[in-house]
Amino acid sequence: MIRSLFISSTSACFELENQNAFYADSEYTVSVSGRELFKSNTNVFSVFGLNPSSEYVLEVTGEPPLVFRTRQETCAVSVRDFGAKGDGVTDDTAAIQTALNCLPAGGRLFFPAGTYCTAPLALKSHITLELAEDAVLLGSTDTEQYPVIPGEIPDLVTGKPVPFGTWEGDASPMHQALLFAEYAEDIRIIGRGTVDGNAQNSTWWINARDRKIPRPRLIFLNRCKDITVHGITAQNAASWQLHPYFSEGLRFLDLSVNAPKDSPNTDALDPESCDQVSIIGCRFSVGDDCIAIKSGKIDIGRRYRKPASRCIIRNCLMMHGHGAVTLGSETAGGVRDLTVERCIFRETDRGLRIKTRRGRGKDAVIDGVLFENIRMDGVLTPIVINMWYNCCDPDRYSEYNTTREKLPVDDRTPYLGKFTFRSMECLNCQIAACYCDGLPEQPIGEIVLENIRFTFDPDAKPGFPAMRNNAEEMCRAGMYFDNVGKLTVRNTELTGCDGDELLVHHVGALDRR
């Protein structure tokens, strides 16, 4: 069966319904209205170059035909008609921004093949940007061309703060992203072209943590809704590649997001305090977390109480990041209802990576997390739930965040609820099968592992399973649990483990079958 995920005026994205992770059973042929287009072997595929307001018949080998109709649009214009050169030399910023400003609601701005050198661009509601297959939006290497966006500005009448910029969970000034939208809706960024931050040719990655103003993202969306990013390649951002913030109704479909493995803080996709997020059919290979779901540090969490909620991650391929799917560490608003299924993780440091700590606050509730039908290979530690994360905060080495003594539960104490992992294969682990470490005063509520197979790399090297103070190295360790309320381990197999398969400390109830 074929599921339609998204249809624009000129493109469409589809998904094969099966139980496979990322790849289909076999190669198949895609035809549209009797014309053979390409062969594929992935569960998610896309069709481009369609006509607006037109009906098509999709045919895929072994599947019943599917009839679909493309969206209507008010107009389609080329960015070259506004003076953009696309020659890889000319600064096309003014031409592109003029075209965006002039585009009517429901219009499509088309970028034909070429390299369009540009400084940051501001998007507006009800438009489509389409990048042809050989079109590249190439970010300027001149850091002075990236304006500073204030974190908050007081309203002139009410005095209430109006939020604009952010960095790592706080309202903060920031450099404007290459593609930037605030308080906008109904935007589509589509095509087989590339949005390239070009940070590898600038100074953004040099002494990155020493900058007074945080580096720009590639695409930043603040308080937007109904946004679709489909088909493009996003790469080489100065910091995070795709950062939706306090937004809703988001679709990230059939994307490639890339950065060198050693590039600093180049997370692929970080939805922060966002609701209804679909990340489907994407390929990630970056220098930090592939997906990091966030909801702010304690000031933002207390003020807005806006959790990251209703996020689906499906049929994605994640490689080389610090974590494949990470929650945190900025989760003061909470994370609820996350489903990750039919994905492949290759050579990431961790598979699931939960990072929280004392001080995130009582609203930092993470609950309703399901991982199902996941395949991992070469992941150092497949499952990490760490309530002792020790990075990025000024008090990271304080007594409050290092003592293993049981402290009072108060307004600063986070909470982790239920986490379910089932039908997973984790091959060639190195450090540990899983490492779950709760707080003595607030244990992890419940962890369920069911139908999981772990194997270990015979050439594994010791390492630290989680970023925490006073951590000890491990190598080919089993399933480690400390401060967990209820633990269920069913039909779980470990091959090549050194020592005990199950390492349990301070677990309230244990059910192993």
Strand 219-222 and strand 35-42: the pairing is unpaired
What is the C-alpha separation between 304 and 170, in angstroms, rounded? Answer: 12
What is the C-alpha separation between 214 and 238, in angstroms, rounded? Answer: 9
Give the residue from 482, 478, 473, 485 showing the smallest Cα distance to 419: 485
CB 149 within 8 A of CB 164: yes
SS3 324: strand
Give the residue from 438, 441, 393 showing the smallest Cα distance to 416: 438
Give the DSSP H or E segment for 102: helix 93-102
Give bridge partners of residue 294 from the DSSP assignment.
272
Rg (C-alpha) for the chain, rounded Å, is 23
Has 459 been annotated as catalytic? no
In the set 275, 322, 437, 482, the catalytic residue is 322
What is the C-alpha separation between 324 and 464, in angstroms, rounded? Answer: 17
Has 170 been annotated as catalytic? no
Residue with tokens 């996709």: 269
CB 436 within 8 A of CB 468: no
Question: Which pair of tokens denotes residue 145?
Answer: 């061309």
Q: What are phi and psi of 256, to 5 degrees?
A: -115, 125
What is the C-alpha separation between 418 and 446, in angstroms, rounded? Answer: 5
8's CB contacts (< 8 A; 6+ apart) are: 70, 71, 128, 188, 190, 228, 230
What is the C-alpha separation between 272 and 245, in angstroms, rounded? Answer: 5
Give the residue from 240, 252, 304, 241 showing the smallest Cα distance to 276: 252
CB 322 within 8 A of CB 349: yes
Question: Which pair of tokens denotes residue 168?
Answer: 């790592």
In the set 288, 363, 393, 482, the catalytic residue is 288
Please, what is the end-to-end C-alpha distance for the chain in angstroms?
36
What is the C-alpha separation between 443 and 465, in angstroms, rounded? Answer: 19
Strand 2-7 and strand 12-16: the pairing is antiparallel
Give the residue from 251, 393, 255, 399 showing the smallest Cα distance to 312: 251
What is the C-alpha separation between 118 and 103, in angstroms, rounded? Answer: 18
Mind telling me the catalytic residues? 288, 322
